[in-house]
Structure 1
């Protein structure tokens, strides 16, 4: 859902009440682009009023010290979102990881699996190397690991979905895996349902495999 940045604190609070009354849990927001020094705090105030415990962001590395300051002040987690070969700052998780390791623990990564594989990066290894700095995940699938336009229903492409979940389980990941379904704009629900069904099936298979090995 979309909550415009221009909403007042009262409007954001009202929207938050409506969302929560519908039984929807707000787990985060974004991707928010921080373009200059002057706009940093307004996005944190927006996120706080909307009840977002985490924001996924895109920014210039030079703004990270100021972003860190407000992450502490507002006690909001900040996850740097990698955006593939077109991203001049953070194409892959490995481009952001050296920065976040120097910052407060509330600053980490939002690994977008589709954009990650398009850089030629081993996404499972990147997840493992991120470790506790992995705060959020954007899940999708691609038929062609080099082509942004090849997105498909999760499970019908070439991204190693089960291996991703296996690694997340191995490392005790406690964040969210958010489906980012950017196709079938006129009728996305069928494909979204199939994607969720595939992911739940992958998780069930991993759980059954774990029980089998410990029986």
Structure 2
């Protein structure tokens, strides 16, 4: 006779050191209420905050209201960004913003010449700074090797947001890069892509070329305890089916590889 559970099972990542989250950029065509509704429906509880949902010049009251709205949906804003920075003033604004928002990490894309200045701000604020990579689309920080070359001699709170799709589109192996650079990987953007070059497009997780079982196993091996945030960049006018499919596939892999 079959025995059925008396209550709903927890999501597979509940038993892992890492968390499943969402990159705010996924919802750049949608307001915060629509974003939180999608997170609630997929039971995703971590959001990397983009400035189109909470502007950099937000007041303390606006930030308070923002966090209250997140709490009402059982969502935590764990970092801000990606934020592009071309001047020292923009760096100052980003750190002040992150402090007001109450997070301890900025995902950023700064001009290279600003890195020594950011190194000082990281020490001043005791905050992590994760450089986001963009594959072959732009010359600035194309992959994990490139980011490492810029941060390896800086404060250990200077690291990277490993975008596994863009890393693969630049011909790199995200699984190997996770193992190699895990001490400086503070955030991860999860996506699948169709090819390991510039022609590669974002696609639902599981339909592309990335080896997700190997990646999940490597997360465990290196003890990654940060967030793996889905950044879904397909059908962005109506991404919700793709988001649900991708989160479901990712959780299936987490469960199947235990």
TM-score, normalised to structure 2's length? 0.75
Shift of 1:75: 2.4
CA contact (8 A) 1:141 1:155 kept: yes
- Residue equivalent to 2:112: 61
Of the structure 1 ranges 130-139 and 21-30, higher mean CA displacement relative to structure 2 is found in: 21-30
Shift of 1:24: 0.7
1:1-215 matches, cutoff 5 A: 1=32, 2-147=53-198, 150-207=201-258
Change (3 A) 1:170 1:147: same
How far apart, CA to CA, are the structure 1 residues paired with 2:157 and 2:117? Answer: 13
Shift of 1:95: 0.6
Change (3 A) 1:148 1:20: farther
5+ unaligned residues in a row in structure 1: which ranges?
A: 208-215
Where 2:246 maps in the other structure, the secondary structure is helix
Where 2:232 maps in the other structure, the secondary structure is coil
CA contact (8 A) 2:190 2:231 kept: yes
Change (3 A) 1:46 1:55: same
Q: Deviations over 1:147-180 (max 9, x none)?
A: 4562111011111111111111111011110000
Q: Which runs of 4+ in 1 moved over 6 A?
A: none
Where 1:85 maps in the other structure, the secondary structure is helix
Shift of 1:82: 1.0
How far apart, CA to CA, are the structure 1 residues paired with 2:167 and 2:191? Answer: 11
CA contact (8 A) 1:15 1:50 kept: no
How far apart, CA to CA, are the structure 2 residues paired with 1:186 and 1:84? Answer: 23
How far apart, CA to CA, are the structure 1 residues paired with 2:208 and 2:177? Answer: 19
How far apart, CA to CA, are the structure 2 residues paired with 1:99 and 1:55? Answer: 17
- For the aligned residue pairs, the C-alpha RMSD in angstroms reads 1.6
State how many pairs are aligned: 207
5+ unaligned residues in a row in structure 2: which ranges?
A: 1-31, 33-52
Where 1:62 maps in the other structure, the secondary structure is helix
Q: Deviations over 1:76-132 (max 9, x none)?
A: 211011111132231111011122221222111101111111111112111111121
